[in-house]
Amino acid sequence: MSVDDVAADDERKRNTYHFDRHTPEYRHQLASIAGEMHEKCPVAWSDTYGGHWVASGSREVFELARSAEYLSNDHDIRGERRGYKGISIPTPQRVASARGGFLEMDPPEQRYYRQALNPYLSPAAINRWIPVIDELVRASLDEKIETGRIDFVDDLANVVPAVFTLAMMGIPMKSWEIYCEPMHAAIYTREGTEEAARVALLHRQMGMDLAGQLAQIRADPRPGLVNALLELRIDGEPQPDIEIFGVLGLLLGGGFDTTTALTAHALEWLSENPPERERLSRERDTLLDSATEEFLRFYTPAPGDGRTFSADCEIAGTQFKEGERLWLSWTMANRDAALFPEPNSIDLARKGNRHHSFGLGIHRCIGSNVARAVFKRMIVQVLDRMPDYRCEADGTVHYDTIGVINGMRHLPATFTPGKRLGAGLDETIDNLQKVCDEQRLAEPVTARRATAKIES
Amino acid sequence: MRVRVDSERCQGHTLCAMIAPKVFELDDIDGHSSVAGENVPADQEEQVREAAHSCPEQAILIF
């Protein structure tokens, strides 16, 4: 580089911030870091992780997220295109064998995958499953209702999203435990530890089960997201198994821990704010929707995504060069006072809540309707069946770092015991599997429009 | 009041249909929003304004 190039580069990167979201400090100082960045540098250059841009201002995030023509999600695994590194910053140490599904693809390829899966995940598609979700929640609570003790993560928020995601995929629901722990543990387990070795083993077992399911569904098709991926043709061609596994990994990653994180945080907050909890329960018909969006905004389970600039460009007042990396911080954009008055307070009735928690633009979370439906059904039953629950700070475990998912490991609580309403979890899952298979609930909404019918 | 959804911008966040279900319809297949007609009944104006403010993609045009 010439002296002039260096000077020009320094000028472009004059707004700097040492941004490391993979530290405990970030979790504890989130609000003040966001406030500082909003004030000084809503787009900032950070030297961390090989150097990358960080967008935290809502206006800047909006313009950037919608500039798909200049921002690539591509993860060029085999170095066949431009060497871009996908949506994780830093790039994970473990060498990736596949892209993270369509989240690490650009159009037009990305669009074909979404079109194939939309009819399984649209609001109309998810509404068919509500009776199934309700039964899973009922059974999970029934397992604990007579004891007066529950762990909202282990016994509820981990369970229902996992079982339901498998049902939508067309994988037997009773396998949920093979998938549940590795998916969660992968988020909070540090690479290189003894625990990591155990988690890696669980991951391999999950991978083997998934591979077996793929083979079975290919040989003897049954409806669901797996089948949709097997049937997908782009330019008349089926998609390679390695890409299908990447998409399934994305659906599992998106389907499990994020909804768990949202539910746990919301239940914890409601326990700490009993008058608000009572108000939510009493006014749920008018308040549950806005409360859900507010918990989404405040807790932002999936905190952001990486991008690579695919061309030199100027967006939101900053000049970027092709190949530079960008972190779009949904979390910090969600705390922008310019868009959200009193951004660091939870207002269950918040208006104008156009939060970023499902992303913005063409990569908007395809599972957003699943998240909202499952969250609401869990919250409503907890409010109804254990209205006086008290979370115990001793035993509550938040993830140390929230750079990947803003989640929780444990949330123990006590409550006044109640009565079981039906069968336990295992028996309920067996019954629901029959319902799911007989009524072919995992078909796309275009093939099957009606809501699930469950005999009580 | 008249309202339109910019179908190029809409990404199916569905907040509009939660806030003003009588005005915004969601596509069965992808959850994208549209309006049956541009005219907004007087008793829906407040909800439509709120829906426009709540759209993350700023895809709702009031005119």
Structure confidence at residue B15 as a pLDDT band (50, 70, 90): very high
Q: Quick one: which H or E segment has residue B25?
A: strand B24-26
**Residue A119 near chain B (CB below 8 Å):** yes
Report, as an integer, the average pLDDT of B19-44.
Answer: 97
Domains along chain A with CATH numbers: 3-439 (1.10.630.10)
Residue with tokens 């060498």: A95
Chain-chain contact of A66 with B57 (C-beta, under 8 angstroms): yes
Confidence of residue A193 (pLDDT cuts 50, 70, 90): confident
> Does the pLDDT value for residue A191 go beyond 90?
no
Q: Decide if B62 touches A, using CB distance below 8 A.
A: no
Distances (CA, A) of A89 to A2, A111, A304, A312: 29, 24, 10, 20
CATH of the domain at B14: 3.30.70.20
Bridge partners (DSSP) listed for residue A234: A237
Chain B touched by A16 (CB under 8 Å): no
Q: Is A369 on the interface with B (CB under 8 A)?
A: yes
B8 interface with A at CB cutoff 8 Å:
no
- Helices A176-188 and A241-255, axial angle in degrees (round to 10): 80
What is the structure's pLDDT at A456? 60
Q: Which residues of B touch A119 (CB under 8 A)?
A: 28-30
pLDDT digits (tens, 9 = 90+) for A196-215: 899 989 999 999 999 999 99
Return the H-helix or E-strand segment holding B63. Answer: none
Eight-state DSSP code of residue B36: S
CA distance B49 to B59: 12
Three-state SS for chain A is CCHHHHHHHHHHCCCECCCCCCCHHHHHCHHHHHHHHHHHCCEEEECHHHCEEEECCHHHHHHHHCCCCCEECCECCCCCCCCCECCCCCCCCCCCCCCCHHHHCCCCHHHHHHHHHHHHHCHHHHHCCHHHHHHHHHHHHHCCCCCCEEEHHHHHHCHHHHHHHHHHHCCCHHHHHHHHHHHHHHHHCCCCCHHHHHHHHHHHHHHHHHHHHHHHHHHCCCCCHHHHHHHCEECCEECCHHHHHHHHHHHHHHHCHHHHHHHHHHHHHHHHCHHHHHHHHHCHHHHHHHHHHHHHHHHCCCCEEEEEECCCEEECCEEECCCCEEEEEHHHHCCCCCCCCCCCCCCCCCCCCCCCCCCCHHHCCCCHHHHHHHHHHHHHHHHHHCCCCEECCCCCEECCCCCCCCCEEECEEECCCCCCCCCCHHHHHHHHHHHHHHHCCCCCCCCCCCCCCCCC
Cβ separation of B50 and A351 shorter than 8 Å? yes
**A445 Cβ contact partners less than 8 Å away, ≥ 6 residues apart:** A119, A120, A122, A124, A125, A128, B28, B29
- Which pLDDT score, from 0 to 100, does residue A404 have? 87
Number of domains in chain B: 1
Task: State the pLDDT confidence band at A401, using cuts at 50, 70 and 90.
Answer: confident
Q: Is the pLDDT of residue B23 over 80?
A: yes
Token pair of A190 as six digits: 């540090």
- Kindly list the residues from chain A whose CB atom is less than 8 angstroms away from the CB atom of residue B31: 118, 122-124, 369
Give every CB contact of residue A180 below 8 A, 6+ residues apart in sequence: A158, A159, A162, A256
Residue B34's domain spans which residues?
3-62
Most confident of A81-95, A222-236, A242-256: A222-236
Amino acid at residue number A421? L
pLDDT tens-digit readout, A7-54: 888 888 889 999 899 888 888 899 999 999 999 999 999 999 999 999
State whether A122 and B56 contact (CB < 8 Å).
Answer: no
pLDDT band at A334 (very low <50, low <70, confident <90, very high): very high
Residue burial A423-452, b: 16+ Cβ < 10 Å; e: rest: eebeebbebbbebbeebebbbbbeebeeeb
- Say if residue A234's pLDDT is above 70: yes
Span A331-347, mean pLDDT? 97
* Average of per-residue pLDDT values in chain A: 95
| A364 contact B CB<8A | yes
Quote the DSSP letter at residue B57.
T
Q: How many CB pairs under 8 A join A and B?
A: 68
Residue A400 pLDDT greater than 90, yes or no? no
If phi > 0 it is left, if psi is from -120 to 50 it is alpha, else beta; for residue B58 that is left
Smallest CA–CA distance from B50 into chain A, residue: A352
Find the residue in B nearest to A288 (Cα).
Answer: B18
Contact assignment for B27 to A445 by CB distance below 8 Å: no
State residue A95's pLDDT score. 65
Nearest to B55 among A354, A361, A362 (CB): A354
